[in-house]
Structure 1
Amino acid sequence: MTVSFLLVCISCKRREEVPGSAIVDWHYKAAGSDEFIHVSRIFQYEYNNPIILHENFEGRLEWKGTMGTKDVQIGSVFIHNVTYNDTGTYLCTFHRTLYLPLNEEHVVISKEVELTVVENANPELTAVISEIMMYVLIAVLQLWMIGVLIYCYRKIYAENEARETRKTARSQSK
């Protein structure tokens, strides 16, 4: 069974009206290692040109970030055919250039993503509780909606009865 994993990296600008461009680099540090593979990055994306830069990741990395614009906001990549050797820390670095009216501003933003590969994934307690709460909330909301419908139909029925009573009283008084 082949497993893929999405390494998510997002870096949004604070002001959308400022034009810019970005290059996204991904580095990898194996579990237990002290350094990222710096001599050669594992991946780089620069405006519609994704490049896998390390032979261990050749044919296994797929760009899932912003496409069609030089101003990349999402720098995520898929790792296909994940193995135990992929366990480690991944560093995503945005090299952003903002084109301001008077000059260019260069900004570097880095984010780390930890990946631990295990034989069988155990659902976290939060995920289990979230799933249970989702079903409880669905049931409670359905009961609430039924209650609201009954209340509305009773109000409509009472209004129709009152209208019929008024009509009857008017016709008898004539």
Structure 2
Amino acid sequence: MSTLTCGITYVSGCWGGCAEVDSLTEAVVGEGFLLGCISCKKRAEVPAEAVVDWFFRPQEHGNYSHIFQYDHPTARSLHPDFSGRVEWRGTQDPDIQIGAIFVSNLTANDSGTYRCRFQRTLFLKLYNHQTTIEKVVELQVVVEAQRELTSVVAEILMYVLIVVLQLWLILVLVYCYKKISAEQEAREARTALKTRTKLPDPDEDCDAIKTE
């Protein structure tokens, strides 16, 4: 849900960067869920107005029910099962491009097909052009959220990376220790050699005394 929220936040702040991000499709019982629906205009400079309607069809039934409508600035919940549970999270402007809604306190009965419909009027110079765009979201409400495969793989890779970095650090420490030890031994050997070179030879001293 966070990815979709970020996408919607970005889009709402910049008309030129509008991107039609797909809605997530899995929610958890007792929690809230953001149903995403984005319809970008082909030409941002053309003034327009839109009305967004949401419809719901449960898994057990074949008919759609009209559950919500947003006609700026009026938001209306139109079905008793969703009364007080639907909040508009789309564009706060007549020229709607983001038609997202937030449904709170989800139950298993909220699983089903949600249809979002944009009825947009483009105000052209010569005439007004009307278009209708629909998008569908298949929502599954579960008792416990199922972790996505990408999340599991990312977590495994994170642990593998941690282990590899630790092994690399150990190898670096061992290498540095051996290098420092070798340099220390070489330094001590050179010092001992210099010391032996500077000491006088006792036999030479004795020969010098005899000569005198």
TM-score normalised according to structure 2 size:
0.59
User: RMSD across aligned C-alpha pairs, in angstroms?
Assistant: 2.3
The answer to whether structure 1 residue 100 and structure 2 residue 128 are counterparts is no
Q: For 1:132 and 1:119, locate their aligned partners in 2 and report how far apart those are by CA, in whole Å.
A: 25
Please show how residues 47-86 of structure 1 align to structure 2 within 5 Å: 47-67=72-92, 69-86=93-110
TM-score normalised according to structure 1 size:
0.71
CA drift at 1:133: 5.5
Q: Which amino acid aligns with 2:83?
A: E
CA drift at 1:90: 0.3
Q: For 2:137 and 2:112, locate their aligned partners in 1 and report how far apart those are by CA, in whole Å.
A: 9
Greater helix percent: which structure? 2
Considering Cα pairs closer than 8 Å and 6+ residues apart, tell me whether 1 or 2 has the greater RCO: 1
Q: For 2:46 and 2:118, locate their aligned partners in 1 and report how far apart those are by CA, in whole Å.
A: 16
**Bigger CA radius of gyration:** 2
The answer to whether structure 1 residue 16 and structure 2 residue 44 are counterparts is yes
1:148 aligned residue: none
Q: Which amino acid aligns with 2:42?
A: R
Q: Provide structure 2 residue ranges, at least 5 long, that are not aligned to the other structure.
A: 1-28, 162-212
Count residues in correspondence. Answer: 136
Q: Provide structure 1 residue ranges, at least 5 long, that are not aligned to the other structure.
A: 138-174
Distance change (3 Å), C-alpha of 1:102 and 1:59: same
Q: For 1:134 and 1:19, locate their aligned partners in 2 and report how far apart those are by CA, in whole Å.
A: 48
Aligned equivalent of 1:26, options 48, 54, 57: 54
Aligned equivalent of 1:5, options 23, 33, 47: 33
Q: Deviations over 1:85-123 (max 9, x none)?
A: 101000000000000111011000000011111111110
Could you tell me the percent identity over the aligned residues?
A: 50
